[in-house]
Amino acid sequence: MQNFTKSKICYLKQNKNKIIVFSSIYIIGILLGLFFIGDLSDTSILYANAKNYYFIIFSPHNSIFSAFYKCFVAGLFLSLLTILFSLNTYLIPVISIILFYRGIILGTAFIIFYTISGITGIIIFIILTLPVHITITAGLIFSSVLNYKTCQIKSTKNKIIYASKNALISIAFTLIASFYLIFIIITIIRPINLLF
Q: How far apart are the first and last CA of the chain?
A: 47
Task: Please indicate, yes or no, if residue 2 is contained in any of the structural domains.
Answer: no
Q: For 15-21, what is the mean pLDDT?
A: 94
Say if 9 falls within a structural domain.
no
Mean pLDDT of 90-116: 88
- The answer to the question of residue 11 being in a domain is no
Q: Is residue 1 part of a domain?
A: no
The reply to whether 4 falls in a domain is no
| pLDDT band with cut points at 50, 70 and 90 for residue 72 | very high
- Whether 121 is in a domain gets the answer yes
**Residue 13 predicted with pLDDT over 80:** yes
pLDDT at residue 38 above 60? no
Residue 41 pLDDT > 70: no
Domain of residue 164 covers 16-191
The segment with the largest mean pLDDT, out of 38-42, 50-54, 55-59, 102-106, is 102-106
Is a pLDDT exceeding 70 seen at residue 40?
no
Q: Is 149 a domain residue?
A: yes
Give the pLDDT of residue 1: 63
Residue at 7 is within a domain: no
Identify residue 179 by its one-letter amino acid code.
F
Q: Is the pLDDT of residue 39 over 60?
A: no
**The predicted structure's pLDDT at residue 51:** 73
Rounded (5°) CA angle 166-142-187: 100
Distance CA 183, CA 132 (A): 11
Question: Total structural domains in the chain?
Answer: 1
Identify whether the C-beta of residue 108 lies closer than 8 Å to the C-beta of residue 38: no
pLDDT at 47: 72
